Amino acid sequence: MSTPRSQPPAEYVAALAKYGFELHELIGQGAAGSVFRATQTRLKRSVAVKIFDGRGARTAENRRRFDREHLLLAKTEHPAIPYVLTTGTLQLKGESVHYIAMQLIQGTRLSNILEHHGRMDATKAINTIQPILSALACAHRENIIHRDIAPDNIIVNNQSAYLIDFSIGICTEYEPGLTRLTHPGEKLGKQDYASPEQREDSSTVDIRTDLYSAGIVLFELLAGHPRLRIDYINQDLNHTSTELREIIKKACATNRNDRFSSADAFSDALKQLTGANLTVAGTPMRSLCPNTICGQANWSYHGYFRGPRIEDECINPRCDGCGTIFIKKCQKCHTSLSVNLKKLTTNQQKTNHDSMHESLQAHCIACGELIFKTPTCNKCGSLLKKEDMGQDTLATGCAKCRRHEANRSPTNTPPDDEMIPF
């Protein structure tokens, strides 16, 4: 009976056990080899073990590339780049097979996120690419060029984004075992993300090829596809600001002399953007201020928050009442806000419990994503006053809870909105 493909072959398990690793399931595979989750038994910590057993392992050149990867990784110390624990050689069926044990990055490949969730909003896209630019800055300071920046080689989790797979990376400064193996005219990397010069001849590139690829990744995060055409970027990214589009144009310039000079310069340009100029200004759109203490929100006579400020045909990127960035589109599918948001502002004196509950939240009409939910007391269900926003109302209650505790007699309650159970 054959071993399930997700499980390591028995000979791998036995061979690595001799070096203190308990091999588990397959977590990645490519032309060069396989990556397994493993446990370093003595320290009881999870690690990744990369075994050079793929179809590309048959050539001496690819074997040298695999051996070089751990040397490149050892030269970089950065939180967004996995560190190497050890390397070695396994004897499998009379053959010597190399392996690398390295830090296990728990998360999801960016390519899978794009496949299942589509494009991102500008803030999330920038937050995803920034750690990658920081990792590239670190690698470039060590004269290392990755040459394969793509969503397949980026892992994302709740903490950060991480750059993996330096297998076709090079060191531009002479060091034994680290210099270029690429022949003139050889083409490496993924064609959708490789710079024009890398697609032409991978042996002649410099650090700016990585900046081009990172720019394409950022474009894909915003557009949902990597097929950048400068002439159509305004159409593909019409939901983002001119400033952000110009940064991507510079990163992905055909002539590398027109690109950013470093990953730090690319990153700094993105840092200059504020929330106000991440999205389009000047286009009239229905806009919602999510600030629950905004002075222009829908407040009752007695100071209860009945719903957010909603403006139709608004061209401003920020609320002029509090300065908060307006929500103009669904953060998941980027559909414009619909007229059904108006129900959020109609939390008047209703006696129907279900009707009131429905008017407390609004969802995207296209994908169902929650757009806004009016906060209520976790103890009594009442609408909240400004002083109760952000408080642990389950523990402390709200203004209405405290009022009722101070005066238990319902006959003393005035006939206003404080009688509303929401």
Q: Residue 16, Cβ neighbours under 10 Å: how many?
A: 21
Are residues 84 and 25 part of one domain? yes
Are residues 237 and 376 part of one domain? no
Are residues 181 and 88 part of one domain? no
Mean pLDDT, the chain, as a whole number?
83
The arithmetic mean of pLDDT across residues 341-348, rounded, is 63
The band of 18, judged by pLDDT with boundaries at 50, 70 and 90, is very high
In this structure, the strands spanning 154-156 and 108-109 are antiparallel
Instruction: Considering only residues 341 and 267, tell me which one the structure prediction assigns the higher pLDDT.
Output: 267
Q: How far is CA 16 from the centre of its chain?
A: 34
Q: Long-range contacts for 327-331 (Cβ within 8 Å, ≥24 apart)?
A: 327/287, 327/288, 327/289, 327/290, 327/371, 327/372, 328/279, 328/285, 328/286, 328/287, 328/288, 329/121, 329/239, 329/279, 329/285, 330/364, 330/366, 330/367, 330/369, 330/371, 331/121, 331/124, 331/369
d(CA 346, CA 355): 11
What pLDDT, on the 0 to 100 scale, is given for residue 179? 44
Are residues 373 and 268 part of one domain? no
d(CA 138, CA 317): 35
The band of 347, judged by pLDDT with boundaries at 50, 70 and 90, is low
Are residues 265 and 147 part of one domain? yes
Instruction: Considering only residues 416 and 24, tell me which one the structure prediction assigns the higher pLDDT.
Output: 24
**Tokens 């939240």 identify what position?**
361
What's the domain range around 149?
108-274
Are residues 368 and 221 part of one domain? no
The band of 183, judged by pLDDT with boundaries at 50, 70 and 90, is very low
Whether 296 has a pLDDT exceeding 80, the answer reads yes
Whether 271 has a pLDDT exceeding 70, the answer reads yes
Percentage of residues of the chain with pLDDT beyond 70 = 81
Whether 421 has a pLDDT exceeding 70, the answer reads no
Instruction: Considering only residues 218 and 7, tell me which one the structure prediction assigns the higher pLDDT.
Output: 218
Question: In b/e form, how buried is each residue of 177-195, taking b as 16+ CB within 10 angstroms?
Answer: ebeebbeeeeebbbebbbb
Whichever domain contains 163, its CATH number is 1.10.510.10
Are residues 72 and 30 part of one domain? yes
Residue that finishes a domain, picked among 73, 103, 133: 103
In a domain, 79, yes or no: yes
Are residues 85 and 27 part of one domain? yes
Whichever domain contains 44, its CATH number is 3.30.200.20
Percentage of residues of the chain with pLDDT beyond 90 = 44
The band of 326, judged by pLDDT with boundaries at 50, 70 and 90, is confident
The band of 221, judged by pLDDT with boundaries at 50, 70 and 90, is very high
d(CA 40, CA 101): 9
In a domain, 419, yes or no: no
What pLDDT, on the 0 to 100 scale, is given for residue 25? 94
The band of 409, judged by pLDDT with boundaries at 50, 70 and 90, is low
What pLDDT, on the 0 to 100 scale, is given for residue 68? 72
Whether 309 has a pLDDT exceeding 70, the answer reads yes
What pLDDT, on the 0 to 100 scale, is given for residue 357? 53
The arithmetic mean of pLDDT across residues 347-373, rounded, is 69
Express each pLDDT in 366-378 by its tens digit. Answer: 888 899 999 999 9
Task: Give the residues across from 46 on adjacent strands.
Answer: 39
Express each pLDDT in 139-177 by its tens digit. Answer: 999 899 998 999 999 999 988 899 998 876 776 654 444
The arithmetic mean of pLDDT across residues 102-118, rounded, is 93
The band of 275, judged by pLDDT with boundaries at 50, 70 and 90, is low
What pLDDT, on the 0 to 100 scale, is given for residue 250? 97
Q: Residue 42, Cβ neighbours under 10 Å: how many?
A: 8
In a domain, 411, yes or no: no
Instruction: Considering only residues 57 and 38, tell me which one the structure prediction assigns the higher pLDDT.
Output: 38
Are residues 126 and 70 part of one domain? no
